[in-house]
Structure 1
Amino acid sequence: MDGIITILKPPGMTSHDVVSYVKRLSGVKKCGHTGTLDPGAAGVLPICLGKATKLASFVTEGNKTYRAELTLGMATSSQDSFGDILEQVGASSVTLEQFQEVFRSFRGEIRQTPPMSSAIKVGGKKLYELERAGKVVDVPSRQITIFDLKVINSWDWSTPYPRVLFDVTCSKGTYVRTLCSDIGKALGCGAYMSFLLRTCVGSFTLERAITLEKLAELITNHQIGQVVIPMVQAVTHLPMVEIHSSALKSISSGGILYPSGVREVSTKIFPEDLVRIQCNNQLLGIFIAKQENYEESVRMIFKPKVVFPA
């Protein structure tokens, strides 16, 4: 069985717990997730089955959307509700208008420093492993993009701990709990993430996600095929390159795709872009665009990253 299932991860389970459960339930030997979702969070968790496990890192290239709640006036060690309280300043003097002004400033390209409780590796060790060992290291910041940021509702203004529910669409590698913490720092009162629901990963949406209970029911009734998404649909966020059938043998063997083998492209492609190579709606691989310069001409070729033989 090759494809992807969109699971609605419940709070309290790690992403690895969900993978183990799906693997045991389905009997599929190869199974993996496309990016860790915090144990306390719920939401969309695409699970790759069979050959689709090779697509995991490419699925995460798509943007992600979350519905989150932040609570002002308090900072925690993990930047969410599961950490130790580090500071209680209170935010009764902060108004919604002041919050909105600071909130809007976080749109666009910003620098973010991942939390110590994250799975980011520094010196070959995951940060949460170093934290558990009592070690503190300098964590390099990185550039992320906040594409959209919108307040949905808010409560308890003029009290020590106002709460704000918001939606955020962001690039790969964004930590929403760090976003909440940074907003609190900018307001001078501290903040932590008190709720998180991931609603979209690339083309995988909450509307198509199923619970683990529903998955068990489908497997028992031999109907799992109803919810397995074909591999080609998992990477629709990547530009499409349709090839001529004459190039099929070469591409399936891991060969370079040259302009003569390209039948159609879905959009303008730039050097270093990842693309999906397909023929008659069958995914043949993920390739990377490379520009070759000659004295009088320039051409784009595509080199394989992952190949799925036809």
Structure 2
Amino acid sequence: MLLRQLFDAASSTYTYILADERSREAVLIDPVFEQFTRDSALIRELGLRLLYTLDTHVHADHVTAAWLHKRAHGSRIVISKRSGTTNADRLIEAGEVIEFGSGGLTVRATPGHTAGCVTYVSHDETMAFTGDALLIRGAGRTDFQQGDAAMLYRSIVGQIFTLPDACYLYPAHDYAGRTLTTTAEERAFNPRVGGEANERDFTGFMENLNLPHPKQIDIAVPANLRCGRPEKDDLHAPATWGPVYMTYAGIPEIDPTWVAEHRSKLTILDVRETDELCGSERKIEGSIHVPLGALRSRIDEVPRDVPVIPVCRSGRRSAQATVILREKGIKECANLAGGMLKWHALGLPVV
């Protein structure tokens, strides 16, 4: 099983990609709206087929990216039947199984932070994704969104602490740089619900936290009740001039074959050094030459009336050229994926 843990610093949210390595079928747990481009790029680069986005609950501190991933990947939106949401494709209840490849996740109802909180548990019970129900040495607050401290205590003790001792627990948030824990650790050391704590101890602790409301609650909750569908569905729209995609590093790239077919309507910007073009190296017909080191000072030589495609030997220097172009206000640009090495490998025309 392939597992990737991703982090959104603004909301301290963990997002998880879980995939079957053989079939490449995948699920994405608790995706963040602002991290859609990053997560989508990683899914593509790893060669995964995203079947589902799974939200553990209706979040109050960030907006889910479920709708964006559905639009981009055709994935289905999954959330608890008790969440009160619209636009979901599958409303789940306790005991249901989310299947992907040879693996799957079983749903355990863990309400208390919100009425619709669930925990997703792997088939072999070696890992569980607890959302905000159980955090590392903590637990999700219970003072809004149908929160109920007594109910959360029973959820943790009855549904999460009954997992095997060695089961890895992956929360939806952490505010101190911690990444994962185990059932045994939390059962022993969690200061709110571990050790000899009983329900009265837990509820007394939770009812006296005196925390400020999340800064994004007025935006996040209404948006998440729509499963992240924007009121104006024009955000993260793809480039209209060509099939541009974002890499996991945040670089817009484009396929060489498409560029070859449309090069008369593009500016090909060769950023290799002059000596590289004086030998046996060939170039794309009609390209202009500005070495990467001179690009900032010679930016006015780059036409702005058509999209710009930077190119170099391998695609590495031209990736930086793409960053520079965007910094200088040329937004319709994309790095030539793989550079001239891939161009030659595909047998595309050169002069």
TM-score > 0.5 by shorter chain: no
* TM-score, with length taken from structure 1: 0.27
* TM-score, with length taken from structure 2: 0.25
Question: Which protein has the bigger strand share?
Answer: 1
